[in-house]
A and B are shown apart, each in its own frame.
Chain A
Amino acid sequence: MAGKKSQKAGWTRRDFFNWTLNLVMGVITILVAIPAVGAAVSPAFHKAAPVWVNLGAQLGLQQSSIQAGSGGVGTVVKAPYSYVEVDHWAKFPASDYAYLRYIGGACAFYILSPICTHLGCHVNWIQADNQFYCPCHGSVYTVDGLNVSGPAPLPLGVFRWKVVANAVWVARESTFTHAHQRSAKAPKEPCLKEA
């Protein structure tokens, strides 16, 4: 080894091997790190798609809302649905309900989420008072789902919905209320009907 050293460049044989070793180890580290870190941060690249669930036949829902109301004007009825909850790799049957009201006109239905915007309890519809009451901490909402009393900070969520083959489908979203979340100053009765 003696005499082989190139003094001018200031590089010894030892330096060369040292750097080659570092380079090779660096490349290996990167090759392992890419899929490892990629898999770990993968959730950041996932967009949550809404799950469309079937509430039942359009005509039946319309009639039950009108029958529950008075004078041909529909009122709030519970519209139960069941669906397959897909949680990443886990799939299991689940069920919930929406509050549906037939409002006539171009936007036939007004469909509210039952999830209280305070801490997520299911609110109860009380026909006699024309209001929703939350059993947990007493929040009160109007028939349009606007929060009027109690700790609830926002109105009830409104479902986007559409008609497919004479059935009403609503979009269950991954938001807190599973529906479109209105801000406090949003319009009273948005029409979220989709084609």
Chain B
Amino acid sequence: MYTRIVRWIDERLMVSPLWRDMADHPVPAHVNPSERVSAFVYCFGGVTFLLIIAQFVTGMFLTMYYVPDIINSYNSTKYLMHHVLFGQQLLSMHNWGSSLIIIMVTLHMLRIYWMGAYKKPRELNWIVGVTLLLIVLGFGFTGYLLPWDEKAYFATQVGVSFTKYVPFIGPALLKVVSGGSKIGAATLTRFFAIHVLFLPALLIVLLGLHFLMIRRQGISGPY
């Protein structure tokens, strides 16, 4: 059945070579944990990617209940936690996932740093990588405000207040980041839009670049 479907599609579009090119791509021995256990450090990037996919899925389902509005965001989150089947688990997975991603992306970056994998010809991928790191941290910062509980509110107040120390444009920047002269309804909608639309779009584009460059240049080493 499965093979017949694949054959049917291939007769028309010939896609399985594309897939095979990815799936059968040989992994050099020095990157393969089944050849050499210490190579597990090469998995950190892949694990980060896996966690990001899970984060996309749980986030999409959370949006079925979450309302980005100062009256309803807290109540809708509470409703999700107490009255929705597996709602508590769904929210927890998204919550813990965000921390795990930051841990894994840091480990991944340390691997690159310690092995010197950022050196020529991979400088551009290091730059894309740093941008990815900033995007991941941006997800964390904007997502933290969304439940609109006390902790979220004051953490965001502290977070955005840093922008006022930017030379010359500081005070204006603070207003742009918070959507007004205080943390309120406009901050929440702004952070929500950034969290669920702007950052995911950026993330997908940059991950695409990241992976294309890795394929193009091959993995670094062995050292």
A and B bound? yes
- For the complex of A and B, the 7 pairs showing the least CB-CB separation, nearest first, are A38-B86, A89-B79, A35-B86, A42-B85, A89-B75, A35-B90, A35-B89
In the complex, chain A residues whose CB is within 8 Å of the CB of B85: 38-39, 41-42, 45
Evaluate contact between A88 and B79: CB separation under 8 angstroms.
yes
State the CA gap A193–B89 with chains docked (Å): 42
Closest Cβ of chain B to A35, distance in Å, is: 4
Evaluate contact between A89 and B78: CB separation under 8 angstroms.
yes
In the complex, per-residue mask of B71-98: 1 if CB is within 8 Å of any chain A CB, else 0: 0100110111001111101100100000
**Could you list 20 further interchain pairs (A-B, Cβ under 8 angstroms) beyond the known A38-B89, A88-B76?**
A17-B34, A28-B50, A32-B93, A33-B57, A34-B86, A35-B87, A35-B90, A36-B60, A36-B61, A36-B90, A37-B61, A38-B90, A39-B65, A39-B84, A39-B90, A41-B85, A42-B84, A88-B79, A89-B76, A91-B75
In the complex, chain B residues whose CB is within 8 Å of the CB of A90: 72, 75
| A49 at interface by CB-CB < 8 Å | no
Evaluate contact between A89 and B90: CB separation under 8 angstroms.
no
In the complex, chain B residues whose CB is within 8 Å of the CB of A91: 75
| B166 at interface by CB-CB < 8 Å | no
Please give the number of chain A residues whose Cβ is less than 8 angstroms from any Cβ of chain B in the complex.
19
State the CA gap A40–B84 with chains docked (Å): 9
A to B CB contacts below 8 Å, 21 in the list: A32-B54, A32-B58, A32-B93, A34-B86, A35-B61, A35-B86, A35-B89, A36-B57, A36-B58, A36-B60, A36-B90, A37-B61, A38-B89, A39-B61, A39-B86, A39-B90, A42-B85, A42-B86, A89-B67, A89-B76, A91-B75
Which of B57, B58, B61, B64 is the most central at the interface, judged by chain A CB atoms within 10 Å of its CB?
A: B61
Evaluate contact between B34 and A40: CB separation under 8 angstroms.
no
Closest Cβ of chain B to A140, distance in Å, is: 41
Evaluate contact between B67 and A35: CB separation under 8 angstroms.
no
Q: Residues of B with Cβ closer than 8 Å to A?
A: 34, 50, 54, 57-58, 60-62, 64-65, 67, 72, 75-76, 78-80, 83-87, 89-90, 93
State the CA gap A88–B89 with chains docked (Å): 19
State the CA gap A142–B62 with chains docked (Å): 49
State the CA gap A115–B169 with chains docked (Å): 59
Closest Cβ of chain B to A168, distance in Å, is: 30
State the CA gap A39–B91 with chains docked (Å): 10
In the complex, chain B residues whose CB is within 8 Å of the CB of A32: 54, 57-58, 93
State the CA gap A90–B54 with chains docked (Å): 29
In the complex, chain B residues whose CB is within 8 Å of the CB of A34: 86, 89
In the complex, chain B residues whose CB is within 8 Å of the CB of A17: 34
